[in-house]
Amino acid sequence: MPVVTSEIADLLAELAPHDIEIFPVHVADTNQQFAILNVVALVDCLDERRSTVTRWTPESSRPDLLGQIKMISRIRLDPAQVGDHHLFRLTGWPLALLVSESARRLIESVPNAGVIFDPVVDT
């Protein structure tokens, strides 16, 4: 879960109130306010035909994960399935944290946000 400044948390809560939970936290040796950002929205929007997906196989030595997504090295989305979500994780592979263009612009509007974005192609 990302730790963000309270300023970013407040902006994202306004943009995507149903996608996230915010938990204020204290970071030692600073007066700045921070929050843990828990992204709770899981969206089934992966376009698996156009993505590069690796699944757990019998050879992977993890029979409990057989057939589940092990890794996605190229994410492609079905924009029709994303809906109005601005911050979300993928159903079946919640490791990735995805943000809409609106959320990206909002975060980048805060000086020194310290976030690096990798683009996901959705068309």
Examine residue 40 and state whether it is found in any structural domain, yes or no: yes
41 found inside a domain: yes
Residue 117 lies in a domain: no
On whether residue 120 sits in a domain, the answer given is no
pLDDT at 82: 94
Q: At what angle do helices 6-15 and 101-108 cross, to 10 degrees?
A: 150
Q: Is the pLDDT of residue 121 over 90?
A: no
- Number of structural domains (the chain) is 1
- Residue 62's domain spans which residues? 3-108
Looking at the chain, list the stretches that DSSP marks H as alpha helix, in order from N- to C-terminal side.
Answer: 6-15, 79-82, 101-108
40-80 pLDDT per residue, tens = 999 999 999 999 999 999 998 899 999 999 999 999 999 99
pLDDT at position 5 over 90: yes
Place of tokens 């995805």: 98
pTM higher than 0.85: yes
* Other Cβ atoms closer than 10 A to 109: 11
Is 62 inside a domain boundary?
yes
Average pLDDT, the chain: 92
